[in-house]
Amino acid sequence: MKSVFSILLVGVALFGGAFAASVPPAKIGKKCSPADGRAITECKAHIQEYMKGVEDLTEEDIKQRINIHGFKEKCAPVNQCLTSLSHCDIYGNGQMTLLTNVVRTFCNLVTYLAESPCSQKMHAHDSKCFKEWNPYLEKDDVKDENRRKEACKNYFGQNGCMRKKLIQMCGKEEWTKFRDHLINLNNLVFKQCDLRVIVWK
């Protein structure tokens, strides 16, 4: 049975990997200027290092906080360079905003899972809610409007059980932090659910 950690890591890592695989060979977009050339080259190198860090990161790293410092060190330069080059489509595929959102969301999520005092409690807690929770919609659910709406109702677990469990274990403040990471995951990366219709406070 997959844990909360592995579900989150696998989902975002696969999305990031799929994005990286879809990026065409290096091509400077029309909005880039010759003056951006060196910064673009350096940023692409940072992105490659970051993606390697994503591939190497494991659930055990999160649980034991192993290699997290090294991964976080990869996050800082790639976030910085993507921000500084936000005016410039460095791959020429119109995906700079998405790439920036994926990197920032995953870095923030990994940092939270590694450093939150609630993380170990979530991992150790043996509940039906956690075991059955999966925020990612299947392809058929995304295509079918009724099935998508039904699946999105349970974005925070069956009948919102994640909220109840986390508040019981860690308090409302930790639930709010975890909730916000999940909202960003949906709104900035997967964009599958309209979470405004869900009561999640």
In this prediction, residues 130-153 reach a mean pLDDT of 78
CB atoms closer than 10 angstroms to residue 65? 13
pLDDT tens-digit map of 8-60: 666 655 555 545 444 444 444 567 888 899 999 999 999 989 888 887 877 77
> Tokens 């119109």 appear where?
94
- Sign for the CA dihedral angle at 34, 25, 46, 96 comes to positive
CA neighbours closer than 13 Å in the CB half-sphere of residue 140 = 0
pLDDT tens-digit map of 52-101: 888 787 777 776 766 677 888 889 999 999 999 988 888 877 778 888 88
Structure tokens at 176: 């709010």
Its pTM stands at 0.77
> Tokens 């950690």 appear where?
5
Q: Identify the band that residue 102 occupies on the pLDDT scale cut at 50, 70 and 90.
A: confident
190 closest CA partner among 155, 157, 166:
155
